[in-house]
A = this chain, B = another copy of it.
Amino acid sequence: MSETELSTHIEGLLHAMPPVAALQPRLAELADGGCRLQAPLAANINDKGCAFGGSLVSLMTLAGWGLVAAWLERRGIKAEVYVADSQVKYRAPLYDDLDACAQFTDSFVADVVLQELVDKRRASFQVRAEVRRSDGGLATRMESRYVAVVPDQIAAE
């Protein structure tokens, strides 16, 4: 799968989920070290005229999911990716369009993860996601753990 096909694949998965389509997300960047999703404020606004916290978490969660899913896809690993836990800090209200970037944390070591997938058919990924305001200030930060599971029927193919 080429990088363009991979982006189209990930974006297609996003828009196929009704609650995600409602956020109107756009895959702005998809690289081996980062995934960036954008969404218009108008579709994600709360009663105070700024971004709804649930939309911020959704977009950051999806950016992390896209990061992990694409990383596995590039290595030919067919696995289901789930978010397992998250710590969210809402630091400042966001009055701009939403722009969420997800990256692996420093504790991520590719070789360790690949070995875990071979040995146990599952592995954890630590991801940090952020939404920044147009002035560069931090709006929201999230640290999450994702789990990739290689299903038995896939492993047995």
Contacts and interface: CB of A to CB of B under 8 A. Distances in A.
A47 interface: yes
6 contacts: A17-B45, A17-B46, A22-B23, A54-B61, A84-B89, A86-B86
A90 B83 contact: yes
Interface in A27-47: 42-47
A133 to B, nearest CB: 16
Interface string A97-114: 000000000000000000
A44 B19 contact: yes
Contacts of A53: 58, 61, 82-83
A87 interface: yes
Given A17-B52, A18-B42, A45-B18, A86 B87 contact: yes
Contacts of A52: 17, 19-20, 58
| A interface, size bucket | 35 or more
A80 B93 CA distance: 13
A55 B19 contact: yes
A48 B18 CA distance: 13
Interface in A57-83: 57-59, 61-62, 80, 82-83
Contacts of A150: none
